[in-house]
């Protein structure tokens, strides 16, 4: 589909034929249909229509128009479903980009982006034709810059957003002001741990954007972050915004979608899928906490909302704000490559002076089996004596997933991938170490290869075991545990939080759930039980995830008016992530991390595609894996394809998970678009070969989870 030609035909030319993606079949194909005369004036790009297909009536979406078609015996479009398309032309182009980038069918992407509808809703919640009625100025196209408006009020466009005093205190604010005033595509990475300062920037930029009669999309990674933003934004914009929260039903989502399509509201706040909302005068996109994992969709089309926001901002020719205390390595690399503009906000020193960070080297503890160090035990006692509260944080995945030497802290790693070797016990109860990236198997040794110690053991302790130990140590304290296993009744989560926030709980033990809704005002101690459980996951991002998550734990102390302490227990105190965490030095972390990524050829220096085959029968999974390997090897001979590395094919590992057999491959490729184009040539054949009720093929481009 030629976008420029299609847009011209859509606006000026005669619409004879339509390019249609069928919405009921997982094809990666475009079909041609003839447009009846009585529909020509009402049909437009993005219209959903019904069409005859394989003896049935099927729904489709118009993705382009043609003046001529070389396909013979074309059938007519039957009827138009929506009075006005639910997606704008630019969002249609965005879904096509997602289909190509994330190696999924266009049908999957369109079905994901278009809200679910029912016939009754189509009549009840009508879309009015607003073309030419509203006085707002139209959204800018990239081409607009070629033909500047001489009558434009330049003084208004260069309006002051931040006061001279604010700019003096934070000079980088001028970059934000210039970006908003220029109204062109530009990505700004806003760094700073002061949420209120970031919120102040958002509010001022939103006001300016609305003043220009343009619209704003704001994305949050989770429901808790969404609620926090909603509470602040609704104070000023309640009548002019819609919120797509986690609890929204399909009917309410459709109603809000229609409000946006009718230009009845100018602000949309939601999680990742809200990037598709059909604003036609979009002026600004904001992503709060851009590094967060939940921005990655784990179902097809498996997109990352950050990358999609970047593409949409480019298509709309508007500024994009990415904000984070601990930016993703990819985003900060883009800053260093001059693709993004960095805005680093000053933070108050009072906070740093009142917050003490202590690293405990667990290899020096007398009892190697001890969960709580002597120093942390003493700190808990002090807090309880001072009538303060304590939060003990332990990642849920803290079970025996890797081996560790209790004396020197050494953890066996794959010599090829530099990721931790995972501890596995097979059906015959034989233990071995396996690399989940390349499949390499390593025998478990009784002696540490680094120091010669015999104190080598699987590492791992869960929250239940931790709770048991804490109860033995502090018999008089009120102790509660907050994780998924502790929530039996519907009301348990609210009740546990309420008890803690009212001061009725002395020690709260939990996973990431303790970061949502817990009031830290009376907490003066956070204990991070084991930094190593995250640090040594079989994932090249393990260091980055550790730094980001534990920084989030530390940042739970948002307002600090009296001395507080964070104690981090680890077997690897010299690891760059732990050192950077103690010093709160993101630049140090980035310099060390990016060096490792470059040496081992990991993103951002390459792209990774994770392919998983899952099935009920071991032999069937193996056969499909061999077929896939053969297909990928054939691409090496394709001149149109890009060079790539295939990991996991030589030492293929089939493992059983939840009564299903699974095999995983990784592809490393630098020229992703070129590789994808070649890979997609036989995409439909690939799907039919691999996908049925018993077997599933999953393709994940730029995965967030490696296992």
> For residue 331, with 0-12 CB atoms within 10 Å meaning exposed, 13-18 middle and 19 or more buried, which class applies?
buried
Question: How distant is the alpha carbon of residue 311 from its chain centre?
Answer: 15
Q: How far apart are CA 263 and CA 132, in angstroms?
A: 12
pLDDT band at 457 (very low <50, low <70, confident <90, very high): confident
pLDDT (tens digit per residue) in 649-667: 887 888 877 778 899 999 9
Mean pLDDT value of segment 82-90: 92
Q: What is the pLDDT of residue 371?
A: 85
Q: How far apart are CA 137 and CA 149, in angstroms?
A: 12
Domain 349-399+461-598 fold is: Rossmann fold (3.40.50)
Strand, helix or coil at 79? strand
Q: Which helix (H) or strand (E) holds 187?
A: strand 186-191
1.20.120.1200, 3.40.1440.60, 3.40.50.2300, 3.10.20.30: CATH of 3-114: 3.40.1440.60
Which of 37, 341, 331 has the alpha carbon at shortest distance from 182?
Answer: 341
pLDDT at 142 over 50: no
Q: Bigger pLDDT: 75 or 434?
A: 75
pLDDT at 530 over 50: yes
pLDDT (tens digit per residue) in 595-650: 999 999 999 999 999 999 999 888 989 988 998 899 899 999 888 899 999 998 88
pLDDT (tens digit per residue) in 477-514: 999 998 877 777 778 888 999 999 999 999 999 888 88
CATH code given to domain 153-344 = 3.40.50.300
Q: What is the pLDDT of residue 485?
A: 72
Q: Bigger pLDDT: 13 or 281?
A: 281
Q: Bigger pLDDT: 688 or 97?
A: 97
SS (H, E, C) 258-272: HHHHCCCCCEEEECH
Rounded to the nearest 10 degrees, the angle between the axes of helix 672-679 and helix 618-635 is 120
Helix H segments across 568-699? Answer: 576-583, 586-600, 618-635, 672-679, 683-690
pLDDT band at 98 (very low <50, low <70, confident <90, very high): very high
Q: Bigger pLDDT: 150 or 525?
A: 525
Q: Bigger pLDDT: 126 or 207?
A: 207
pLDDT at 212 over 80: yes
Mean pLDDT of the chain: 86
Mean pLDDT is lowest, of 231-240, 406-415, 468-477, for 406-415
pLDDT at 459 over 70: no
Q: Bigger pLDDT: 517 or 251?
A: 251
- Domain-wise residue ranges, the chain: 3-114, 153-344, 349-399+461-598, 400-459, 607-701
pLDDT band at 561 (very low <50, low <70, confident <90, very high): confident
Q: How far apart are CA 532 and CA 570, in angstroms?
A: 6
Q: What is the pLDDT of residue 421?
A: 81
Q: How far apart are CA 48 and CA 384, in angstroms?
A: 63
The answer to whether 345 touches 192, Cβ cutoff 8 Å, is yes
pLDDT at 128 over 80: no
pLDDT at 38 over 60: yes
Q: What is the pLDDT of residue 586?
A: 94
Mean pLDDT is lowest, of 3-17, 99-113, 345-359, for 3-17
Mean pLDDT is highest, among 2-6, 332-336, 355-359, 572-576, for: 332-336
The answer to whether 105 touches 28, Cβ cutoff 8 Å, is yes
pLDDT (tens digit per residue) in 230-262: 999 999 999 999 999 988 999 999 999 999 999
pLDDT at 58 over 80: yes
pLDDT (tens digit per residue) in 146-186: 334 434 444 455 678 999 998 988 899 999 999 999 999 99
Q: How far apart are CA 190 and CA 293, in angstroms?
A: 18
- Angle (nearest 5°) at CA 271 between 266 and 273: 85
Rounded to the nearest 10 degrees, the angle between the axes of helix 586-600 and helix 542-554 is 170
DSSP letters spanning 264-302: --SEEEESGGGGG---SSEEEEEEETTT-GGGB-SSTT-
The answer to whether 704 touches 102, Cβ cutoff 8 Å, is no
Q: Which helix (H) or strand (E) holds 293?
A: none
Query: Is there a common fold for 153-344 and 607-701?
Result: no
Residue with tokens 């949309």: 268
pTM of the full structure = 0.86
pLDDT at 345 over 70: yes
pLDDT band at 414 (very low <50, low <70, confident <90, very high): confident
pLDDT band at 355 (very low <50, low <70, confident <90, very high): confident
Mean pLDDT is lowest, of 568-577, 585-594, 639-648, 649-658, for 649-658
pLDDT at 390 over 90: yes
CATH code given to domain 607-701 = 3.30.70.600
pLDDT band at 136 (very low <50, low <70, confident <90, very high): very low
Mean pLDDT value of segment 676-701: 80
Mean pLDDT value of segment 686-702: 79
pLDDT at 343 over 80: yes
pLDDT at 129 over 80: no
pLDDT at 4 over 60: no
Percent of the chain with pLDDT over 70: 87
């Amino acid at each position: 589909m030629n976008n420029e030609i299609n847009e011209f035909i859509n606006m000026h030319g005669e619409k004879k034929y339509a390019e249609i993606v069928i919405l009921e079949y997982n094809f990666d194909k475009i079909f041609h249909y003839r447009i009846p005369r009585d529909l020509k004036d009402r049909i437009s790009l993005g219209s959903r229509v019904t069409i005859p297909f394989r003896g049935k009536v099927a729904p489709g979406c118009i993705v382009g128009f043609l003046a001529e078609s070389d396909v013979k015996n074309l059938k007519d479009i039957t009827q138009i479903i929506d009075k006005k398309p639910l997606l704008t032309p630019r969002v249609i182009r965005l879904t096509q980009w997602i289909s190509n980038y994330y190696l999924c069918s266009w049908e999957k992407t369109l079905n994901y982006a278009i809200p679910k509808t029912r016939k009754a809703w189509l009549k009840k919640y009508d879309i009015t034709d607003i073309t030419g009625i509203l006085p707002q100025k139209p959204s800018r196209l990239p081409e607009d810059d070629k033909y500047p408006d001489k009558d434009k009020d330049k003084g208004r466009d260069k309006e002051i957003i931040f006061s001279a005093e604010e700019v003096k205190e934070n000079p980088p604010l001028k970059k934000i002001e210039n970006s908003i005033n220029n109204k062109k595509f530009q990505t700004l990475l806003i760094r700073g741990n002061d949420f209120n300062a970031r919120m102040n920037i958002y509010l001022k930029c939103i006001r300016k954007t609305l003043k220009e009669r343009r619209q704003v999309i704001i994305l949050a990674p989770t429901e808790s972050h969404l609620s926090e933003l909603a509470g602040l934004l609704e104070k000023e914009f309640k009548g002019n915004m819609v919120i797509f929260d986690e609890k929204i039903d399909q009917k309410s989502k459709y109603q809000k979608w229609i409000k946006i399509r009718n230009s009845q509201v100018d602000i949309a706040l939601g999680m990742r899928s809200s990037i598709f909302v059909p604003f036609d005068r979009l002026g600004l996109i904001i992503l709060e906490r851009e590094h967060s994992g939940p921005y990655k969709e784990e179902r097809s089309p498996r997109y990352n909302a950050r990358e999609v926001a970047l593409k949409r901002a480019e298509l709309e020719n508007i500024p994009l704000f990415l904000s984070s205390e601990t930016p993703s390595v990819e985003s900060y690399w883009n800053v260093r490559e001059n693709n993004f503009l960095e805005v680093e906000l000053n933070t108050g020193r009072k906070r740093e002076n009142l917050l003490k960070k202590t690293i405990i080297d667990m290899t020096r503890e007398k009892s190697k089996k001890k969960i709580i160090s002597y120093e942390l035990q003493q700190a808990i006692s002090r807090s309880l004596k001072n009538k303060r509260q304590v939060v003990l944080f332990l990642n849920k995945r803290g079970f025996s997933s890797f081996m560790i030497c209790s004396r020197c802290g050494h953890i066996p790693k794959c010599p090829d991938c530099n990721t931790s070797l995972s501890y596995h016990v097979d059906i015959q109860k034989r233990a071995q170490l396996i690399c989940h990236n390349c499949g390499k198997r390593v025998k478990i040794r009784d002696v540490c290869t680094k120091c010669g110690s015999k104190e080598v053991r699987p590492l791992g302790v869960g929250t239940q075991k931790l709770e048991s130990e804490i109860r033995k140590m502090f018999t008089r304290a009120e102790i509660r545990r907050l994780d998924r296993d502790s929530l039996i009744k519907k009301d348990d989560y609210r009740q546990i939080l309420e008890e803690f926030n009212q001061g009725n709980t002395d020690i709260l033990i939990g996973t990431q759930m303790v970061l949502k809704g817990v009031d830290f005002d009376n907490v003066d101690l956070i204990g991070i039980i084991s930094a190593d459980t995250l640090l040594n996951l079989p994932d090249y991002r393990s260091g980055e995830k550790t730094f980001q998550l534990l920084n989030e734990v530390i940042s739970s102390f948002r307002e600090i008016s009296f001395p507080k302490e964070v104690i981090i227990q680890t077997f690897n105190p010299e690891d760059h992530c732990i050192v950077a965490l103690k010093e709160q030095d993101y630049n140090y972390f980035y310099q060390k991390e990016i060096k490792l990524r470059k040496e081992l050829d990991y993103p951002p220096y390459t792209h990774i595609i994770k392919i998983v085959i899952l099935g009920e029968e071991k032999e069937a999974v193996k056969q499909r894996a061999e077929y896939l390997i053969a297909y990928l090897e054939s691409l090496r001979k394709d001149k149109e394809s890009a060079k790539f590395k295939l990991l996991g094919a030589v030492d293929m590992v089939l493992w059983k998970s939840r009564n299903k057999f699974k095999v995983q491959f990784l592809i490393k490729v630098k020229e992703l678009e070129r590789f994808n184009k070649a890979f997609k040539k036989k995409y439909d054949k690939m799907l039919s070969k691999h996908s049925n009720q018993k077997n599933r093929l999953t393709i994940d481009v730029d995965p967030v989870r490696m296992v």
